Amino acid sequence: MNGFYITFPTDWTVDDDPGDGRAVVAQSPLEEGTEPDITRTTFEVLVIRMKSRPGLEKFFDGYVKKLPESKPYYQHEDSGEIKVGRHKTKYILYAIDTEPRIEARLEYFQEKGSNIYIFRGVTRGIQFNRFHDTFREIAYTFRLM
């Protein structure tokens, strides 16, 4: 339906079509005694349907440029280009204040036709090192259909 395939760890819960422009959201298990709003780790896929084909470079550059706007804290860590599923993929790793927490986000971007696919791992900043490899493993299962 959304033109992609992705695999999540078996112990994560998956919600197809949760709304807010997200096609799927997977959540890692919560540790006992933790608050979901502060400690929840997710991996989500957004499908952005554009009126015309924007071009991956142009869309990515515009997206990255808007990240620090109106945010009290934004820190760019890394960005570049890789191949995922034989498709050109842009990525960015950054930290941002989303109140009530500082989040680390590892985001990947692909384009097919006039659709932009953003697939990203999101966790509390201090948990990022624990989830970095899992985020990459999930992202590398992403396939456009």
In this prediction, residue 123 carries a pLDDT of 93
Instruction: Please report, for the chain, the start and end positions of each structural domain, with discontinuous segments joined by +.
Output: 4-111+122-144
pTM, rounded to two decimals: 0.91
**Which comes out higher in pLDDT, residue 139 or 55?**
139
72 confidence band (pLDDT: 50, 70, 90):
confident
Is it the case that residue 37 has pLDDT exceeding 70? Answer: no
Mean pLDDT of all residues in 121-132: 91
CATH topology of domain 4-111+122-144: Protein Transport Mog1p; Chain A (3.40.1000)
Beta strands in 12-141, from DSSP E residues, in sequence order: 13-19, 22-27, 42-49, 74-84, 87-97, 102-112, 115-124
Q: Token digits for 130?
A: 């624990």
Coil/strand/helix, residue 106: strand
Take residue 54 and report the two structure tokens written for it. 């924007």
